[in-house]
Structure 1
Amino acid sequence: MKVGLYFGSFNPIHVGHLVIANYIAEYSDLDQVWFVVTPHNPFKKKSSLLDNYQRLEMVYRATKDYTKLKPSDIEFNLPQPNYTINTLAYIQEKYPNHEFCLIMGEDNLKSFHKWKNYELILENHDIYVYPRIPKQQVETAFDTHKNIHFVDAPVMEISSTFIRKAIKAGKNVKPMLPEFVWEYLDEMNFYK
């Protein structure tokens, strides 16, 4: 089975995440896309994150009706801060019959050379890149690498940060969230 790993804090998961993941699951050679909920990104402040299991619950609720999309808490028990190379080694050992690939936004590809052991990741894993910003803004040495596949997914200009700020300001963001996620956020009074 070929699985795409879509890493993120998913704080909260929104329709943009689902559109991209579903597009890649349907229009690539991947069998499934796993939403890997990251406990703590070394490049982000931890204070604004909801609890790991609250974010995992949102991903579970958002993906439960999609057979090719799965939530994953694989990083919850790894030492923090964690790096993608460690997760890949761990997950490959746990699921030896799966082939794991990465899914990332074009903006992340631009800084990919700063990732820990990025050469090893690139050598051993395919990377599926979806558009986040206009093409001419990204100049990268990775454009022609055999393991990097650019996916023509829709450009989604929704961000979790925007959603959190909008909720805090009392705005209605219901159309930007999967229904079950909206209900959970509303019930729990998150981000208010």
Structure 2
Amino acid sequence: MKKVGLYFGTFNPIHIGHLVIANHMVEFSELDEVWFVITPQSPFKVKQSLLKDNHRYQMVSEAVKDYTKLKPSKIEFGLPQPNYTVHTLAHLTEKYGNSYEFCLIMGEDNLKGLHKWKNYEVILENHKLFVYPRISEGKIEHRFKGHPKINKVNAPIMEISSTFIRKNHKAGNNIRPLLPEAVWEYLDEMNFYRS
């Protein structure tokens, strides 16, 4: 059974930091594949800076096309909103449970807030977590330290953010080295984040 790491995010846009982490997870942990689960735009929170779902899916597809172990996923596009991770995991397990074991990839900053997640106990009972380091405030709850389902992966610390990319692209600064080439070309051609 294939072990799939689910890497959730808006990927607005996907950048080399995301790729470095996903590739590190698939090459240096027990994961066989990483799926980029693109979070849909919430109908309840319309953000001007968030590109339409299909454009973000297209950029993720472009970014991973040369990486056989990395895949784009639009599984959340068809789920009721607002959606919770626990629901996505249940949906995927129901749909693919015989072929894949689903695990969750998250930054250390998210682990610090895991106790506030909807049904986090259910997630931990049924899924492994693969955690990559992040520079962030706060402490990891005692109950998560040394937990048998939580695996810390010594991935590189990536301090690149999509917010930084959008802001500086709009300001006219060259952010091209921070994006996979195909993503840069798509973003530039579509004139995203400029106006």
- TM-score, structure 2 as length reference: 0.94
- 1:154 is aligned, of 153, 156, 170, to 156
Shift in Å, 1:15: 0.1
Query: What residue in structure 1 maps to residue 128 of structure 2?
Result: 126
Query: What residue in structure 1 maps to residue 92 of structure 2?
Result: 91
Query: What residue in structure 2 maps to residue 4 of structure 1?
Result: 5
Unmatched tracts of structure 2, length 5 or more? none
Provide runs of 4+ in structure 1 moved above 4 Å. Answer: 41-45
* 1: CA distance, partners of 2:75 / 2:129: 19
> More displaced, 46-55 or 84-93?
46-55
Note the aligned Cα RMSD (angstroms). Answer: 1.7
Shift in Å, 1:93: 1.0
Residues 40 and 82 of structure 1 are in contact (CA less than 8 Å); yes or no, is this contact kept in structure 2? Answer: no
Shift in Å, 1:92: 0.7
Query: What residue in structure 1 maps to residue 30 of structure 2?
Result: 29
Query: What residue in structure 2 maps to residue 182 of structure 1?
Result: 184
Code of the aligned partner of 1:147: K
1:131-172 C-alpha deviation (Å, 9 max, x unpaired):
1116x8533221211000000000000000000000010000
Unmatched tracts of structure 1, length 5 or more? none
- TM-score, structure 1 as length reference: 0.95
Residues 35 and 70 of structure 2 are in contact (CA less than 8 Å); yes or no, is this contact kept in structure 1? Answer: yes
* 2: CA distance, partners of 1:173 / 1:23: 23
* 2: CA distance, partners of 1:36 / 1:11: 12
Residues 42 and 82 of structure 1 are in contact (CA less than 8 Å); yes or no, is this contact kept in structure 2? Answer: no
Residues 62 and 183 of structure 2 are in contact (CA less than 8 Å); yes or no, is this contact kept in structure 1? Answer: yes
* 2: CA distance, partners of 1:157 / 1:75: 26
Residues 9 and 38 of structure 1 are in contact (CA less than 8 Å); yes or no, is this contact kept in structure 2? Answer: yes
User: What is the aligned length?
Assistant: 191
* 1: CA distance, partners of 2:191 / 2:155: 32
